[in-house]
């Protein structure tokens, strides 16, 4: 286990994280990778169904395949590990008894709550299915887990780069789920030691991106008495 003193705090990790494209070939210690994965799976999920999985790709063939699937980008080939986040749109149909038993065993739920929760979860997901939203909800869960992974990695002094530019069909072939229509690729996340240093590109000010109760309405002390004024809005593509 990595010593706790070696970790950055959550605020430090958030501020230290940068998207890194080039990596040293050094392999990750098994204990460090296992801890990273355990922290990743601490992420919350809708109804605690945990409709997300992580495929750890570290072999040269798999890394080359992911490089091709991303149009030749260098990160998957150079990083010793790429985590592929898989969203399962059908996880709610599976036997979730272990999830409910664990919650009861941990004292988080009692038997009556677990039984009611299970039925409510089924009703909720059937409604999502009727509205064509099962994939969307599963991908959201996978993305929450990926964010946990990025911050956990940063806290350990590791670099990552969230990748959203890839051919899903090709990625699914690499990880062996080409025939699974119920599984979807949410994100690729190379992890390793950085071979480059990237400076913070900056973020727009709070007043530009945060609103008070209504989109476009100024937030914070500087907006006092100015609730009716719209703030210019726009998407920030910088990572």
Segment 45-71 mean pLDDT: 97
Name the phi and psi angles at 42, rounded to 5: -75, -10
Domain edges within the chain: 4-192, 201-239
Contact at 8 Å (CB) between 118 and 98?
no
Inform me whether the pLDDT recorded for 224 exceeds 90.
no
DSSP letter at 222? G
Beta-ladder partners of 190: 82
């570290």: which residue's tokens? Answer: 58
> What is the C-alpha separation between 169 and 177, in angstroms, rounded?
9
Q: What is the pLDDT of residue 234?
A: 41
> What is the C-alpha separation between 117 and 121, in angstroms, rounded?
6
The topology under which CATH files domain 4-192 is: NADH Oxidase (3.40.109)
> What is the C-alpha separation between 160 and 148, in angstroms, rounded?
12
Segment 192-217 mean pLDDT: 93
Q: What is the pLDDT of residue 233?
A: 42
| Long-range own/partner contacts, residues 205-213 (CB < 8 A, 24 or more apart) | 207/231, 208/232, 208/233, 208/234, 209/236
Q: What is the pLDDT of residue 2?
A: 37
> What is the C-alpha separation between 207 and 181, in angstroms, rounded?
42
H-assigned helices in the chain? 10-16, 30-40, 60-69, 75-78, 97-105, 111-130, 134-155, 168-174, 206-209
Summarize pLDDT for 98-148 with one digit per residue, the tens.
999 999 999 999 999 998 999 999 999 999 999 999 999 999 999 999 999
Segment 65-83 mean pLDDT: 97
Least confident stretch, 136-145, 166-175, 223-232? 223-232
Name the phi and psi angles at 166, rounded to 5: -155, 165
> What is the C-alpha separation between 194 and 79, in angstroms, rounded?
9
- The per-residue pLDDT of the chain, averaged, comes to 90
Q: What is the pLDDT of residue 222?
A: 60
Quote the pTM value. 0.88
> What is the C-alpha separation between 55 and 218, in angstroms, rounded?
42
Structural tokens at position 111: 């038997």
Summarize pLDDT for 23-50 with one digit per residue, the tens.
999 999 999 999 999 999 999 999 999 9
H or E stretch at 190: strand 183-192
Q: What is the pLDDT of residue 221?
A: 67
Sign of CA dihedral 91, 176, 35, 145: negative
Beta-ladder partners of 83: 56, 189
Sign of CA dihedral 88, 176, 58, 32: positive
Choice between 208 and 6, residue whose per-residue pLDDT is larger: 208
């Amino acid at each position: 286990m990595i010593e706790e003193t070696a970790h950055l705090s959550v605020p430090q990790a958030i501020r230290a994280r940068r998207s890194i494209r080039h990596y040293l070939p050094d392999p990750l210690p098994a204990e460090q990778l296992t801890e990273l994965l355990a922290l990743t799976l601490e992420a919350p999920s809708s109804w605690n169904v945990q409709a997300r999985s992580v495929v750890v790709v570290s072999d040269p063939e798999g890394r080359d395949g992911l490089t091709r699937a991303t149009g030749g980008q260098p990160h998957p080939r150079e990083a010793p590990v790429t985590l592929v986040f898989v969203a399962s749109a059908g996880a709610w149909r599976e036997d979730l008894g272990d999830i409910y038993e664990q919650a009861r065993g941990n004292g988080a739920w009692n038997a009556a709550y677990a039984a009611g929760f299970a039925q409510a979860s089924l009703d909720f997901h059937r409604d999502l299915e009727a509205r064509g939203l099962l994939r969307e909800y599963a991908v959201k869960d996978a993305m929450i887990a990926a964010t946990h992974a990025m911050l956990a990695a940063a806290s350990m002094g590791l670099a990552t780069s969230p990748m959203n530019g890839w051919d899903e069909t090709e990625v699914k072939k690499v990880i062996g789920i080409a025939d699974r229509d119920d599984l979807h690729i949410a994100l690729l996340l190379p992890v390793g030691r950085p071979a480059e240093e990237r400076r913070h590109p900056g973020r727009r000010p709070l007043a530009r991106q945060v609103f008070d109760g209504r989109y476009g309405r100024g937030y914070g002390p500087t907006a006092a008495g100015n609730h009716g004024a719209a703030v210019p809005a726009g998407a920030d593509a910088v990572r």
